[in-house]
Structure 1
């Protein structure tokens, strides 16, 4: 969990934007409990990405089937702050998309916080398109819902 806490701490802008954790005082126990709860949800996976040498470089929370629309959803994709703008986010996204194609999903969705325009620009650059705007289910924060066709 220390590695995961370091990953979150390396993204202070995201932590402040999301409002869930203070990057200077990450409560490791709460972070672990939140990720365990996420992973234990039906059809949910928390995937860790590592370099060849074992260093944690990213994390993806993936829901196989949303109960409302039936699509898989990326709940979170986070890259270590030291690796921003080096293609790691693109590579992680490509791996997730390929994984979902292999499972014969025809599309995938995610929600980006409205107050995070750089994240919206990132997803747009990868071919994702806005399909809705609404509050997130967990915290009621305004979000841009995005979709990408896979098949």
Structure 2
């Protein structure tokens, strides 16, 4: 069983430790996005502050009462007024178990319940696994851009029916 749980405070030491543990279990992803394999919890604090100021929401992905991953999203990105998924990362220990797919379905259902018609996200050009995952889950590329880490990305969108 998979469910999404709002992170009560993304800035507490405990929460920052959990986030770093999840991210550091996927060093290849960190290299693509952050240009380094591992991050310290303290390094996440400033980015979290900036993202929370923009209205970002953070959710733990729970599987059988364990935190298996993390999702962040902006309900309304001011540049285009779409909701944006900022991050979906599954702890390596829980990879390849269908948790990411189940989490995306839960998030999409939440968006539909809120009356949203679409969602967007960015995928780093070298992230072929991410590209395949999002494409398999109904997302299509709409344009090329740069992310907040100055990585070249493809912007993907999924319309809800």
TM-score by length of 2: 0.84
Aligned residues: 146
SS at match of 1:148: strand
Distance apart, 1:102 and its partner CA = 0.5
Give the corresponding residue for 1:143: 153
SS at structure 2 position matched to 1:115 = coil
- Return 5+ residue gaps in structure 1 as ranges: none
Q: Is residue 103 of structure 1 aligned with residue 103 of structure 2? A: no
TM-score after normalising by structure 1: 0.89
Residue 65 of structure 2 is aligned to residue 50 of structure 1: no
Give the aligned CA root-mean-square deviation in angstroms. 1.5
State the partner residue of 2:132: 121
SS for the counterpart of 1:139 is coil
State the 1:86 CA deviation.
1.2
| Aligned 8 A contact 1:35 1:46 in 2 | no
Find out whether 1:10 has 2:22 as its counterpart.
Answer: no
Equivalent residue runs for 1:6-85 within 5 Å: 6-23=21-38, 26-42=39-55, 44-53=56-65, 55-85=66-96
Tell me how far apart the structure 1 counterparts of residues 133 and 103 of structure 2 sit (CA, whole Å). 13
Gaps of 5+ in 2: 1-15
